[in-house]
Structure 1
Amino acid sequence: MKKAVCILSGGMDSTLSSYIAKNSGYEIIAVHFNYGQRTEHKELEAFRNISRELNVEEKYEINIPFFTQIGASALTDKSIDIPIGGVEEGVPVTYVPFRNGIFLSIATAIAEKHGAEALYIGVVQEDSSGYPDCSDTFIDKMSSAMNQGTKEETKLEIITPLVHMSKAQIVTKAIELYVPLEHTWSCYANEDKACGVCDSCRLRLNGFKLAGIPDRIEYI
């Protein structure tokens, strides 16, 4: 069976991306990153629950401690407050420097080890938080570098099935594919009940509202 490495944070986008990979006939190799984010334990729990739902046999939980050393993001530096005022001008403080580039690099090494031919990542460009590492241009250039820097027989395609979808479309598609959205976690701030006011919660809640579907996770 053909194989795909799926970067799976435990969030709604990466979970749907992984389900799309499975429905496309791939054997999934799930990769999760613990990088010192505020909701690290909750995201890991979500990853494990979703991996179980997907019947994933091969999975990796990768620790990347240096993100907390460099700080520079509200997700990894607790001296920076999580913004709750809505859309920010420019790149928001929740952006983690070159996070997706680093994730993709590690996932490429795993894909080459397993002879995978695809790498799924749930980046969303049109309805995202304004992160520079979620764009088509970035993904295209990373794909070129990854294939240039691996063995000749390694032919790896980065697949971004959600990149031009809105959150409402993502919710609708997830329901269509029977994705257990109640196991996913989006909140930037909390690990027990979602705050409902951070940028990620706002995007998620608006997506459910526009899709006309109730969100089954708990909010404060």
Structure 2
Amino acid sequence: MNTTVVCSGGLDSVSLAHLISAEGRLGRILSFDYGQRHRKETGFARAAAVRLGVPFHLVDLRPIGAALTGSALTDDIDVPDGHYAEETMRITVVPNRNAIMLSVAFGIAAAKGDSAVAAAVHGGDHFIYPDCRPAFTDAFATMQAAALDGYAEVALLVPFVNRSKVDIVTEGARVGTPFAETWSCYKGGDLHCGRCGTCVERREAFDLAGVADPTVYVDPEYWREAVAARERG
């Protein structure tokens, strides 16, 4: 079973690519340029493909991304600091992003003869991102089965959809994912900022998993403050 892995270059999707590769099922790595705030993460996706010895596809969705306005990931809007659980992180939602990307991924997988598409959506994203929830992935899989009926059978693999980022770090470490060769920060500077939602979640996940975090952060201790603020409600 060859699998197309949708990979942004972040910790979650690179870990998923390594997990699928360890199972001998990795067919290709697929990444997207949708005009996001920075594109350095796609370089990490490309490096993962080279490291794992599979083809890399970078799909240009910039014209579509330009129409999906209102997000801090696509517009000139400041990325907020703080934990993902805070309401302010809703400004990072890009409407229908996963639905659009997965539709393209399924088309490519079917055209290339792959039998599955894998995505690293996880339980920690449910609060903010509706297209990371099980209701979405279940419905999407049903829709794609109808869309490709009689042409190809392509399954949707979302092994982390009901699991946490802690689980992803644990699984990634088990299969030797080089975490230093992943990029999470939404701000896209020379180093991870340590303050945006994805940096806070990344740092917390390593701590809870008991796995050494090789990431260099501009503000390496802010995550503790952000987590404490979330717990205070």
Q: Same fold (TM over 0.5)?
A: yes
Spell out structure 1 runs of 4+ moving beyond 4 A: none
Residue number in structure 2 paired with 1:36: 35
Please state whether the residue corresponding to 1:70 is helix, strand or coil. coil
1:94 aligns with 2:79: no
Return the offset for 1:145. Answer: 1.0
CA-atom RMSD in angstroms: 1.7
| Worse-matched range after superposition: 127-136 or 173-182 | 127-136
Q: CA deviation at 1:91?
A: 6.9
Normalization by structure 1: what TM-score? 0.92
Correspondences of 1:1-220 after superposition (within 5 Å): 2-40=1-39, 42-56=40-54, 58-65=55-62, 66-78=64-76, 80-86=77-83, 87-89=85-87, 92-126=90-124, 130-220=128-218
What do the CA deviations read for 1:5-36 (whole angstroms, capped 9, x no partner)? Answer: 11011011111211222223214211000111
Report the TM-score when normalising by structure 2: 0.87
In structure 2, what is the Cα distance between the partners aligned to 1:38 and 1:129? 22
Task: Return the alpha-carbon distance in structure 1 between the equivalents of residues 68 and 160 of structure 2.
Answer: 30
Call closer, same or farther: CA 1:91–1:186 in 2, change over 3 Å.
Answer: closer
* Structure 1: runs of 5+ lacking an equivalent: none
Structure having the higher helix fraction is 2
1:85: how far off? 3.3
Q: Distance in 1 between matches of 2:187 and 2:125?
A: 20
Q: Runs of 5+ in structure 2 lacking a partner?
A: 219-233
Q: Structure 2 counterpart of 1:69, which letter?
A: A
Distance 2:92 2:57 in 1: 25
Structure 1 residues 142-164: Cα deviation after superposition (integer angstroms, max 9, x where no partner): 11111111241411110011112
* Residues 149 and 91 of structure 1: CA distance in aligned 2, closer, same or farther (over 3 Å): farther
Q: CA deviation at 1:199?
A: 0.5
- Give the 3-state SS of the residue equivalent to 1:207 in structure 2: helix
Q: CA deviation at 1:167?
A: 1.7
The number of residue pairs the alignment matches comes to 216
Letter in 1 for 2:60: N
